Structure 1
Amino acid sequence: MGTWRSCLFLALGFLAFPWALAEDWRLTRSQTLTQGKAQEWRYTLSPSGKESQELWRRLSEQYRDHLRAGYRVELGAWRVYFLGGRLRVEPHCQAVNPACFTFGALPVAKERQDRFLLELSALLDQALVQANGTGGVVSLPRLFRLEVPKKANPPYPASPSGWRP
């Protein structure tokens, strides 16, 4: 009986894990219907809560400056950069850890920024994997928007979202 309960609690813990991570970010999946016909899927990442929104506003400003200067912005499992004047998103770290990120010079504790970016990376990866299976648009407001054709291989061409290069 004790082993059964341990397994049950462990299973419930794994089921609750994705929701436990979703403190700073949310991923919204939507699809438009026109005249009874389904259109492409949209996957939108957005910071949740005022503190997260402010942190993302300040961090995304620094990321845009990095991109304008010709640097890459590393977002854990993915990286964003300009190549030939076009914005691209490509795989970066397979085993995501704090060293896989471009950190902002912000008056925020490193642990806070780590948690914020790790959650962003996990949801961005989830959005891109889902979009690859269905085809669709992935948006990270204030940074980029990209269209992912069904079963396409990265790198993905993207366009700036909310800013000009």
Structure 2
Amino acid sequence: MRTLAFFLVVLSLALAQDWRLTKSLSEGLGERGAWRYTLSPQGKEARELWQALLPQYRNHLQAGYRVDLGAYSLYFRGGALWLSRACPTPHPACLTPGALPIPKERQDRFLLELAGLLEKALAEARGTGGRLTLTGLFRADLSQGQAPPFRAHPSGWKP
């Protein structure tokens, strides 16, 4: 099962069409700044799908539920937003699907691609330190070598 899940993640990354991971280094006054990693949907269909999922995810979080994003879950605890490891590898059972009028396979593919890039972005951010933002949902500032759970903050909305 673990091999199949790994294969699905690798395949979704190979076919990466819905999500983009951008990495930038801020600089100021001759000093090296912090790394910024941003996950965002690319293409009209992907943006529309993400815009349809965002309100559902925000409502889940505000109601006290977690949002599963593959190997990681996002949830409120003690008034703070947290991102922590929930599954050993991203696979469809570790995704929070939305109530959308699209085939489940399409939504799974979309979310598995996000999960794979989130894994990659977190690994890089943990290696360098910096800010990771998932457009419209959260941002987290990671220290170099930091282990989960990660403190996060709403991005693009207020709880």
What is the TM-score of this pair, normalised by structure 1?
A: 0.87
Show the counterpart of 2:4: none
Partner residue in 2 for 1:103:
97
How many residue pairs align between the two structures?
150
> In angstroms, what is the RMSD of aligned CA positions?
1.5
User: Could you tell which deviates more after superposition, 141-150 or 91-100?
Assistant: 91-100
Q: Give the distance between the partners of 2:12 and 2:58, measured in 1 at CA.
A: 29
Aligned to 1:41: 35
2:7 aligns to what?
A: none
How far apart, CA to CA, are the structure 2 residues paired with 1:18 and 1:115? 7
Deviation of 1:18 (Å): 7.8
- CA separation of 1:101/1:163 partners in 2, compared to 1, >3 Å: closer, same or farther? same
Q: Secondary structure at the match of 1:93?
A: coil
Structure 1 stretches (4+) deviating beyond 4 angstroms? Answer: 16-19
The CA distance in 2 between the partners of 1:17 and 1:97, in whole Å, is 12
1:12-38 Cα distance to aligned partner (Å, 9 max, x none):
xxxx96863320000000001212221
1:50-69 matches, cutoff 5 A: 50-69=44-63
Partner of 1:138: 132
- For residue 116 of structure 1, give the secondary structure of its aligned residue in structure 2: helix
Mapped partners of 1:29, 1:141: distance in 2? 14
> Contact (CA 8 Å) 2:12, 2:116: kept in 1 or not?
no
Return the TM-score normalized by structure 2.
0.90
Q: Letter of the aligned partner of 2:100 in structure 1?
A: L
Partners of 2:67 and 2:96 within 8 A in 1: yes
2:86 is aligned to: 92
5+ long unaligned stretches in structure 1: 1-15
